[in-house]
């Protein structure tokens, strides 16, 4: 009996598709369509802020941990994850929110904004940092134990630091200021980030992850940059859940940011040990 090639074409193509090997999961025993993690970071902070009028010199930067007794060490929660929507294509997301406050009797005078805070002033200080991140990532190299990828995305960051104090305060003309005085410095600007990432499956249920995301810009009203460096190790004790440990360093350096008639400067670094829980689907 003769069978035409046209009649065989459909079942032959279906058979080839069904028999073709599927893209291996990474690591091999862990689903990698989507993963979401939550971490506790034991951070060490270094926070510098300065603010002054745009038509005059910017004040010297004050270190908030020293001037206002903000905690140098703090623990906070972060979250991040990815969705793989193709063999080599990913959507990465992340979020961080840290708020620190302190009350301090000023020991040594400092200038902030249009005021001088003298020794003895009762000051409340605060600094909040929030970052939301989203990016497209592409695996340009996929070997059996290794994935190397590049990413392009956006970080929407907000830095908010300030001082609210009473007593022993003078303005730029050395006039005594009565009552409560509040000076606040804010930064909210989206920054593009370019990244490079390495994932190395050490075993069928463990992976070493390292990446660096960074940018530097130089405009008339904004000069500075941001970098986020991460090293992590995840061990999946079951295919859908992992524990992990890592190190992360987030740095924001803004020597110049002009807004609302003011020139602001930020130097912000948080780094430390992270412990993770991660789900895989």
CATH number for the domain spanning 262: value is 2.40.128.90
- Quote the tokens at residue 248: 């992360």
CB atoms within 10 A of CB 215: 16
* Alpha-carbon torsion angle 79, 270, 166, 174, nearest 10: -140
User: Average pLDDT for residues 201-228, to the nearest whole number?
Assistant: 95
State the pLDDT at residue 65. Answer: 93
The pTM of the full predicted model, rounded to 2 decimals, is: 0.84
Contact call for residues 158 and 130 (beta carbons, < 8 A): yes
pLDDT tens sequence across 150-197: 999 999 989 999 999 999 999 988 999 998 999 888 888 788 999 999
pLDDT tens sequence across 102-152: 998 999 898 888 899 999 999 999 999 999 999 999 999 999 899 999 999
The secondary structure of 213-236 as a DSSP string is: EEEEEE-SSEEEEEEEEEEEEEEE
Q: Which domain holds residue 267?
A: 5-280
Query: Residue 235 pLDDT more than 60?
Result: yes
Per DSSP, the three-state class of 39 is: strand
State the pLDDT at residue 12. Answer: 38
CB atoms within 10 A of CB 277: 14
Owner of token pair 């989507």? 34
Count of domains observed in the chain: 1
Nearest to 111 by CA among 221, 46, 185: 185
């Amino acid at each position: 009996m003769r069978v035409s090639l046209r009649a065989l074409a459909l079942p032959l193509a279906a058979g080839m598709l069904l028999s073709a090997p599927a893209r291996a999961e990474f690591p091999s025993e862990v689903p990698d369509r989507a993963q979401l993690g939550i971490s506790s970071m034991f951070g060490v902070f270094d926070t510098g802020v300065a603010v002054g009028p745009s038509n005059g010199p910017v004040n010297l930067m004050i270190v908030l941990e020293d001037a206002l007794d903000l905690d140098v060490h703090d623990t906070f929660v972060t979250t991040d994850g990815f969705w793989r929507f193709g063999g080599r294509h990913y959507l990465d997301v992340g979020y961080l929110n840290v708020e620190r406050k302190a009350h301090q009797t000023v020991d040594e005078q400092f200038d902030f904004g249009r005021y001088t805070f003298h020794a003895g002033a009762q000051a409340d200080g605060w600094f909040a940092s929030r970052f939301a991140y989203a990016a497209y990532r592409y695996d340009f190299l996929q070997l059996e134990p290794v994935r190397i990828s590049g990413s392009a995305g956006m970080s929407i960051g907000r830095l908010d630091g300030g001082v609210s104090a009473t007593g022993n305060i003078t303005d730029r003309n050395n006039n005594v200021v009565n009552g409560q005085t509040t000076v606040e410095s804010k930064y909210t600007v989206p920054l593009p980030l370019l990244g490079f990432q390495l994932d190395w499956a050490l075993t069928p249920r463990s992976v070493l992850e390292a990446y660096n995301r960074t940018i530097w810009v130089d405009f008339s009203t904004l000069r500075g940059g941001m970098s986020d460096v991460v090293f992590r190790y995840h061990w999946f004790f079951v295919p859908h859940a992992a524990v992990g440990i890592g190190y992360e360093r987030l740095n924001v350096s803004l020597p110049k940011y002009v807004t609302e008639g003011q020139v602001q400067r930020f130097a912000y670094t948080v780094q430390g040990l992270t412990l993770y829980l991660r789900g895989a689907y």
